[in-house]
Amino acid sequence: MGLGDGLKAITQLPYLGGSQVQTKRGQEQIGARPRRFKLTLATREALWAYAFLLIPLIFYLFLRIWPAFQAFWLSLFSWHVDPAQREFLGAGYYRDMLADSKLHRALTNTLLYAAIIVPAQLVLGLGIALLLNVVTVFRPLFRAIYFAPYVTPAAAVAWVWGWMYSENFGIINNFLIEWSIFWEERGLPWLVIDPQPFLGDPDQALFAVAVVVVWKQLGFQVVIFLAGLQGIPRMYYDAAKIDGANSWSLFRYVTLPLLNPVMAFSVIISTIYALQLFDEVVNINFTDQGGPLNSTLTIALYMYQEAFARFRLGYAAAVVVLLFVLIMIVTLVQLRFFSKRVEY
């Protein structure tokens, strides 16, 4: 390798507080950086950066961004197999979207999903990761159990939850019935809860699906936060403990600030996921995709139906543009929020 022991020594250097968190021991131990070749260094750094990014950028431009523009471009035309026969509509589809009540329903549903799923995943994901960090016995087993839903294929998840939610056979309603009998016998009839239709009811279906999404995606969040928690050098905690901090202040003043970049990732990714919610909704609403009276319909699912069940790919592309703009705005706001909270 030729890098020698010097490198090894550096790799094994302890973490040093630096600019991130000021602990008492975080004094600068590494000497001043040489700034003499600043210009050449900066150019060199940039050249390295572009070299590293060359293949990925070709990939993104050619296989991600260019196809996206093609999809956007489609939204200006009526769809036809033969590109020469696609009729230019300009903003036609965008005008149609304004009057499309099914799309409006999908939009409201999607925002509601995001409003439920994102906070629930953040709180539960972080909470479970913290708990998993405490336990030492059966640790891998516990982790596997909390990760199990994430590895279960979507069709199987939908099938099992469909049965659990079933009005006439589901175990949730079995429990409600037992519960009601228990309280009725004890003369407390106001505690009785009737069996619920869950997925079969337009007012409950969206929440029932959201529960499944949170349940299934939780493993993802837990793993992210576990990795994030491991990234916090133990010495920060040790230092704070020497100062006599209790667990809450450790969490509030060490864990949370240091987890900020990871939380930014978690929140932004789960928001993007929620706004593009598709798999769970397709699989779980059995009677008709999109739920009774479109109660679980999402924008992504609506787009998919328009494209592949109705062959209206131009209109579907316009819906994609809408979804893209929506997600872009939300993400930029979130990025700004998280980058403001901690300055490096």
Partner 1 sequence: MKHLVRAMLVAAVLLAGLAAAQVEILYWQYQFDARFDAMEQLIEQFNAENPDIVVRQETFPYDAYQQQVAASLPAGEGPDVVQLFYGWLPTWQRSGYVEPLPAEFFDAAELDATFVPMAQAAKLGGTYYGLPTAVRSLGLFYNKDLLSEAGYDSPPATWDEFIEIAKALTIKRGPRFEQIGWGVAPQGQEHHVIREVLTRQFGTAPYSDDGTEVLYDSEAGIEAFAFYTGLITEHELGVIDFVPGTSGYREGFRSLQNIAMIFDGSFAIGATQNTAEFEWGVTELPVGPSGVKSNFGSFWMNGLTPNALADPAKTEAAAKFLQYVTSPEAMELWLDVVGELPARQALIADPELAADPVFGPFIRSLEYAHATTFVDESAQRAVIMDAVNRVVLEGVDPEASWLQAAAEEQALLDQFAQ
Partner 2 sequence: MATRTQRRSAPRSQRRFRMRPTTILAYTLLALGTTVMVFPFLWMVLSAFKDAREIFRFNFWPTQWMLANFREVLFDTDFPRWFFNSLLVAVATTASVLFFCSLVGYTLTRLRFPGRTLIFILILATLMIPTEMLVIPWFVISADFGWVNSYWGIAFPGLIPAFGVFLMRQFFETLPRDLFDAARVDGINEFGLFWYIGLPLVRPALAALGIFAFIGNWNAFLWPLIIAKSPDMRTLPVGVALFSGEAGTAWHLIMATNAMAIVPVLIVFFVFQRHIIEGIVLTGTKG
Pick out residues in 264-293 that bind partner 1 (CB under 8 A): 286-288, 292-293
35 belongs to the binding site for partner 2 (CB under 8 A): no
Applying CB under 8 A, among 113, 146, 165, 315 the residue interacting with partner 1 is 165
Decide: 205 and 292 in contact? Cβ < 8 Å.
yes
User: In the complex with partner 1, which residue's Cβ is closer, 17 or 200?
Assistant: 200
Q: Which stretch binds partner 2 (CB under 8 A): 99-107, 111-119, 194-202, 227-235?
A: 227-235
Number of helices and strands in the chain (H, E): 15, 0
The reply to whether 159 sits near partner 1 by the rule CB under 8 A is yes
Of residues 194-213, which lie at the interface with partner 1 (CB under 8 A)?
Answer: 194-195, 199-202
User: Does residue 124 belong to the site contacting partner 1 (CB under 8 A)?
Assistant: no
Note whether 81 binds partner 2 by CB under 8 A: no
User: Can residue 115 be called a binding residue for partner 2 (CB under 8 A)?
Assistant: no
Task: Confirm or reject binding of residue 246 to partner 2 (CB under 8 A).
Answer: yes
Residue 77 in 3-state DSSP?
Answer: strand
CA–chain centroid gap for 219, Å, is 11
CB nearer partner 1, residue 83 or residue 187: 83
Stretch 294-313 residues interacting with partner 1 (CB under 8 A)? 294, 305, 307-313
Q: Are 276 and 323 in contact (CB under 8 A)?
A: yes
C-alpha distances in angstroms, 267 versus 52, 126, 230, 259, 304?
A: 28, 11, 19, 12, 25
Whole-angstrom CA distances from 111 to 187, 207, 271, 272, 315 are 42, 13, 10, 11, 21
Rg, C-alpha atoms of the chain: 26
DSSP state of 295: T
Q: Which residues of 133-144 are buried (b: 16+ CB within 10 A; e: fewer)?
A: eeeeeeeeeebe
When asked if residue 311 is in the footprint of partner 2 (CB under 8 A), the reply is no
Site for partner 2 in 158-177 (CB under 8 A): 159-161, 163-164, 169, 171
146 binds partner 2 (CB under 8 A): yes
Name the residues that contact partner 1, by CB under 8 A. Answer: 79-83, 85, 159, 162-163, 165-169, 173, 177, 194-195, 199-202, 286-288, 292-294, 305, 307-313
